[in-house]
Structure 1
Amino acid sequence: MKLKNYLFIPLFIVQGLAIAQTKDAIIENIIKEATENSQLPQLAHELTDLIGPRLVGTPQMKQANDWAVAKYTSWGISARNEKWGEWKGWDRGITHIDMISPRVRSLEGTQLAWSPSTPAKGVTADIIIIPDLADSNAFKAWLPTVKGKFVMVSMMQPTGRPDDNWEQYGTKESVEKMKKERAEMTTAWAQRIRKTGFTSRTLPLALEKAGAAGIISSYWSAGFGVNKIFSASTKKIATVDIALEDYGMLYRLAESGNTPKLKIVAISKDLGVVPNFNTIGEIKGTEKPEEYVMLSAHFDSWDGATGATDNGTGTVTMMEVMRILKKFYPNPKRTILVGHWGSEEQGLNGSRAFVEDHPEIVKNIQVLFNQDNGTGRVVDLSGQGFLNAYDYLGRWLNKVPYEIRKEVKTNFPGNPGGGGSDYASFVAAGAPAFSLSSISWAYGNYTWHTNRDTYDKIVFDDLRSNTIMAAIMTYMASEDPETTSKVKSVLPVSPRTGEPMTWPTPRSPNRRGGLD
C-alpha cells in the first residue's frame, strides 16, 4: 500500500508539470476556456436539435450556413457564405408507415433522401417480394405483377443482434452457424438481384416504370435498432427504408402467404434548383496575412437523423476553436481560416470546389486540420505522405497537454489520403492537410449515416480534448517562424497492384447535383 502511494505522487507531479511547463499564457488560456467555459453543448444543441440534419439542397442546409455566419459574427469573426454550386432542392416532410393487414401496427421507417412524395392521403397497397427467378427474361415476364404493389427489394436479415452480442452470449457453435447462414443468404440475395438484369440502384427504376406503388428497402447497420439512410433513385414513386425488425416481420408475412397491406404517407417537396454554399470564417493575420492555417469540417449530413457525429461534432469543435482563438489570440501571425464544407457526403464537392476556386489560398496553406470521423477523442495523426511532416506536427503536438497527446498514435510520413473526407481535397493539391482521426465509439455501426446519429451520442469530454488539441496546434502553426515543408515522400509499392503508388490528383466537384 505504501509503495503504491509512493509511486502515485511523482506521477501526479509529473503530469501537473506537463501543463505548468508550457509557460505560455495563450496555451494556458485555451485550456482553461475550453475546460471551464465550453460552448460545445449549446452549439451542438442549436445545430442538431434546432436546425437538424443538413442534407445538401435542403432548407436546413442553408439555415445552418446562415446560423454559422451569425454565430461567428457574434464572436467578432469575419464570416461569409460562398456559393460553389447548385443542387436538386428537396424538403423532407412527414413519413408515416402503417401495416393495416393482417393486423394493425405503426412501423418504424422513413423515406430516403430526395424521394418523390406520395399523395397527401398516402398510398395503400399489398406487399410483394422480388422473387428468385431463373434469369432476366423470367424477371421481365414477372415484372407486370408489381403494378399497384409495394415491392420489397432488400434481403431479410436472419438476426437483428449485432455480432458482438452473439459472441458475448452465444455458444461457439451457434455463432458460427448464424454467420454461415447469413453469408449464404447474402450471396443468394445478391445472385437473386443479379438475375433480374438490374443493379440495386437501377432495379427501383424498373419497378417504378412497371407501375409499382412504392419501393421498400432496409439497410441494416449491424447494430441494435440502426439502419443507414441514403438516397432514393426513383423519380415518381416514394422509396422508404423500414427498420430491420419491422422489415423482417413484413417479409416473413409475405413469404408465408399472409400478405401484408401497408399505408404509406411520405410527404416531400421538390424545390427545383437551389444554390449551395461553403461557410468560411476568418481571423486575419498580422505579419503573414497571405499565409493560412486552416480548420476544416464538412457541414452537410445525411438526414436519417440529425447528423450529430457526422459531422456535427467536427463542425462545433472547429467553431469552438475559432471562438477561443479569437478571444485569446485575436491577432495571429498568419491568417486563420475555417471551412465548413457542403456536399462532402456526395464526393467532397464543397472542399474540391474551394480548392479549384482558390488556388491563391491553397498554395499558401501552412497547414490544414480536418475532423470528421465521429465524436471520439483524437487518437491518430498521419503525415499524409509529406516527408517532413513529423518535424512541424511533432513540435506543435508536443505543446498539447500530455493527458491529451498521450492518446495520439502518429504515423510519419504515412501515405496521402485519396478520399474519405475533405482533407483529401487539399492533399491532392499538394497542401499539407491532416485528419485528426478519432477513436471509434462504434461509429461505423451506430451513428455513421444512420437513423441514430443524434445529440445524445455526442461525448463532450472527448470534444473538449479535441478542441484543446486543435486550438493549440493552430496557434503553434500560426506562430511558427518557419513555413511548413510540402516535400512529398516517395510512395511505397501498392500491395494490391504491385506498382508504385502515385500521389492523388485534384478532382473537379459535381456542381450540379441531381440536376443533370
Structure 2
Amino acid sequence: MKRNTILSISALLLTAQLSFTNAQTKQTEQLNPIVQNFVNEAHNNSQLESMAHDLLDGIGPRLIGTPEMLAANNWTADKMKSWGIEAELQQFGTWKGWQRGITHVDMVYPRVKSLVATQLAWSPATKKAVEAEVVIMPKVSSKAEFDKWLPSAKGKVILMAQYQKIGRSEEQIKEFATPELYEKLKAEKDQATKDFREYVKKIGYDNNSLPEALENAGVAGIAISNWTGIMGANRIFGAKTKKIPMFDIELEDYGMLYRMAESGMKPRIKLETQSKILPDAPSFNTVGIIKGKEKPNEYVILSAHLDSWDGAQGATDNGTGVLTMLETIRILKKYYPNNKRTIIVGLWGSEEQGLNGSRAFVADHPEIMKGTQAVFNQDNGTGRVIDISGQGFVNSYDYIGKWLNAAPKNIKDQIKSTFPGMPGGGGSDHASFVAAGVPGFSLSSLNWGYFGYTWHTTKDTYDKIIFDEVKNNVILTATLAYMASEDPEFTNREKREMPVNEKGEVAKWPEFKEPLRSSKDYK
C-alpha cells in the first residue's frame, strides 16, 4: 500500500459524520439468517490461520517479477478452485525477474560481528564473498569536491544514509524525558535531518543519481539504513544499482560502522549476496468469479493486492487483505449459493509500483466497470475496520448505510465515516476504480502501528496478525458483498461537487491513469 496522496481540504468538506449505530437494537440481536451463517462460519470454522501459514510462511514475500509472486498467483487460484469457484490468472504485463538469495554481512575488523542486513529488491549479487573497508561520504560543500573524492571510494563499501544518533522512538523519548530534554533532542534530530538533506543537495545528487555515481566510481557496495523511527524496523524498497549490491543495515549496526569509520578505525565487512537476476516475468492478477444467477452482468468486486515488498513476509501489507477476501469468497460460496449479482475477487499484482494490476483490470474490462455495483478493498493492516468513506459519491450514504445495517452490531458500531467524502487519489486499489467513476470503497482498519512498524518493513511478519480482528473484517466484507448483491437498485454514481481550497482552486476528481505494463517504465 502507498500512502494516500488524496487532496484533502478539510475546512471546506461538505460532509456529515456518520456513526453506524442502531439505538433500537434489542439485547438479543436478530440477524439475517445468511449473515448469521457468515458469523458462525467465520468464528467456528475459520481457514484464516491455515491459509496465512501457507501464504506467508510457505511462499513468503511476493515481490512483483519473482517466482514467489507467481507461486502466490497459482496458490490463490488453486485455493478458490478447491472451493468450486472459477479462477484464473490474467496477465497484464511483464516485470524484471529477480529472486532473493542469502544475504550475509559480517564485520571482520576491528572485531568480528554478524550484522543484521537485508539486500534491497532487484539488487545485483556479489557472485562471491567480498571483503572491503567501510567508509562514510566526505564532509564537502560542493559537487566538485565530492566528485574529486569519488575515485578514492573505489573498492570500498559506502554508507550512504543519514547517521541516527539516537535509535529510540519519539514516543518513548517523550514518555521518559523531561519536557526540556525532549525539546532539545527533537530539535537536534530535526537539525541533523535538515543538515543531511542540505548536504546531499550541495554535492549535486539525489537518491537515484548518487548510487549511480558511486557505482560508476567502482565502489564494492552501497549500504543504507532506512529506519522507520520504530526500534528494530527498517523499510525495504528497491536497489538503485545495476552491477553492485545495495543493502540495508539495521540502525545500530549501521550506526556502529558509521562511528568507527568517522573516527578512523577503518572497519571492514565481508559481504555475500546470492540473489538471481532472472528473465522478465509475466505479471498477473488472480481473478475468481461466482456468476450471478439473476443479474450476471452486474458485479460486486472484492479487492486486495497480492504483491508485497520483500523485507519480511508481507503479512499486513497485504497478506491480511488477501486472506480477508479469500475467506470472504469461501464463505459466500458456501452460504450464499444464489447470488443475484456476479461476485468477483481481484487479487492484484504490482500495487506497490503504482496500482498497476487494478488499473489494468479497469482498463481491460470496460464491460465489467459499466456493471459494477461496488468494490470493497482492504489494504491497511490487521486491525478491525473503523472507516468506510463515501469516496466522493453523492448518494453513497444511502446504499452503504443500508448494507452496513445488516452487519452484527458489535462490528458496525465500530465504524464511523465521512459522506460523501473525497475520492481516493492513489493510496490503494480502490482508487483505480474511483478514478474511473466506479464506486470503490476502502475498508480502512485500525492501524495497530501499521505505518510506523509494519508498512514495507522488516517487521511485517505473521506474528503481527491479530486473527480475531481479521475474522470480524471477513464477516463485515461478506455482509456488504451479500447486501450489495441483493440490493434491487443499481448504485448511483453521481459525483460530489468538489470543494475549493484556500488558494481558490477547485479540487479535481482524480484522473484515471494507465497502468505500467513493463518494468522499463518504472522509476
Which range, TM-score by smaller chain? over 0.9
**Secondary structure class of the residue paired with 1:297:** strand
* Pair 1:499 & 2:505 matched: yes
> AA paired with 1:75?
W
Specify every segment of 5 or more residues in structure 2 that has no aligned partner in the other structure, as ranges: 1-21
Instruction: Give the alignment partner of residue 287 of structure 2, picking from 280, 297, 300.
Output: 280
In the alignment, the residues of structure 1 paired with residue 279 and residue 501 of structure 2 have an alpha-carbon distance, to the nearest angstrom, of 44
The residue aligned with 1:55 is 63
The residue aligned with 2:143 is 136
> AA paired with 1:311?
N
Q: What pairs up with 1:254-293 in 2 under 5 angstroms?
A: 254-293=261-300
Instruction: Give the alignment partner of residue 106 of structure 1, picking from 96, 99, 114.
Output: 114
Change beyond 3 A, Cα 1:68–1:97: same
Change beyond 3 A, Cα 1:145–1:498: farther
In the alignment, the residues of structure 2 paired with residue 265 and residue 206 of structure 1 have an alpha-carbon distance, to the nearest angstrom, of 22
* Pair 1:482 & 2:489 matched: yes
Between the aligned residues of both structures, percent identity stands at: 55
* Pair 1:93 & 2:101 matched: yes
> AA paired with 1:165?
Q
The residue aligned with 2:52 is 44
Specify every segment of 5 or more residues in structure 1 that has no aligned partner in the other structure, as ranges: 1-10
**Secondary structure class of the residue paired with 1:67:** helix
Q: CA deviation at 1:171?
A: 1.3
The residue aligned with 2:392 is 385
Q: CA deviation at 1:132?
A: 2.4
The residue aligned with 1:3 is none
In the alignment, the residues of structure 2 paired with residue 13 and residue 382 of structure 1 have an alpha-carbon distance, to the nearest angstrom, of 24
Q: What pairs up with 1:162-201 in 2 under 5 angstroms?
A: 162-201=169-208
Q: Deviations over 1:127-183 (max 9, x none)?
A: 111122121111111111110000010011121111111111111122111111111
Q: CA deviation at 1:196?
A: 1.6
Q: TM-score, normalised by structure 2?
A: 0.94
In the alignment, the residues of structure 2 paired with residue 513 and residue 330 of structure 1 have an alpha-carbon distance, to the nearest angstrom, of 41
In the alignment, the residues of structure 1 paired with residue 477 and residue 431 of structure 2 have an alpha-carbon distance, to the nearest angstrom, of 18
In the alignment, the residues of structure 2 paired with residue 73 and residue 261 of structure 1 have an alpha-carbon distance, to the nearest angstrom, of 53
**Secondary structure class of the residue paired with 1:103:** coil
Q: Deviations over 1:300-321 (max 9, x none)?
A: 0000000000000000000000
* Pair 1:362 & 2:369 matched: yes
In the alignment, the residues of structure 1 paired with residue 446 and residue 270 of structure 2 have an alpha-carbon distance, to the nearest angstrom, of 42
> AA paired with 1:87?
W
Q: CA deviation at 1:13?
A: 11
Please list every run of at least 4 consecutive aligned residues from structure 1 whose deviation after the TM superposition is greater than 6 angstroms.
none
1:15/1:402 contact within 8 Å kept: no
Q: Deviations over 1:229-259 (max 9, x none)?
A: 0000100000010000100000011111111
Instruction: Give the alignment partner of residue 432 of structure 2, picking from 421, 425, 428.
Output: 425
Instruction: Give the alignment partner of residue 123 of structure 1, picking from 124, 130, 138.
Output: 130
* Pair 1:35 & 2:43 matched: yes
Q: CA deviation at 1:515?
A: 6.9
In the alignment, the residues of structure 2 paired with residue 368 and residue 185 of structure 1 have an alpha-carbon distance, to the nearest angstrom, of 44
> AA paired with 2:99?
D
The residue aligned with 2:81 is 73
In the alignment, the residues of structure 1 paired with residue 92 and residue 194 of structure 2 have an alpha-carbon distance, to the nearest angstrom, of 42
The residue aligned with 2:72 is 64
Q: Which moved more, 1:53-62 or 1:34-43?
A: 34-43
In the alignment, the residues of structure 2 paired with residue 228 and residue 263 of structure 1 have an alpha-carbon distance, to the nearest angstrom, of 23
In the alignment, the residues of structure 2 paired with residue 451 and residue 190 of structure 1 have an alpha-carbon distance, to the nearest angstrom, of 25
The residue aligned with 1:333 is 340
In the alignment, the residues of structure 1 paired with residue 160 and residue 198 of structure 2 have an alpha-carbon distance, to the nearest angstrom, of 13
> AA paired with 2:444?
S
In the alignment, the residues of structure 1 paired with residue 267 and residue 476 of structure 2 have an alpha-carbon distance, to the nearest angstrom, of 54
The residue aligned with 1:457 is 464
The residue aligned with 1:437 is 444
In the alignment, the residues of structure 2 paired with residue 435 and residue 485 of structure 1 have an alpha-carbon distance, to the nearest angstrom, of 18
**Secondary structure class of the residue paired with 2:394:** coil
Q: Deviations over 1:382-406 (max 9, x none)?
A: 0000000000000001111111111
In the alignment, the residues of structure 2 paired with residue 363 and residue 419 of structure 1 have an alpha-carbon distance, to the nearest angstrom, of 21
Q: CA deviation at 1:415?
A: 0.6
Q: Deviations over 1:411-458 (max 9, x none)?
A: 100010110000000000000000000011010111000000000000
1:214/1:239 contact within 8 Å kept: yes
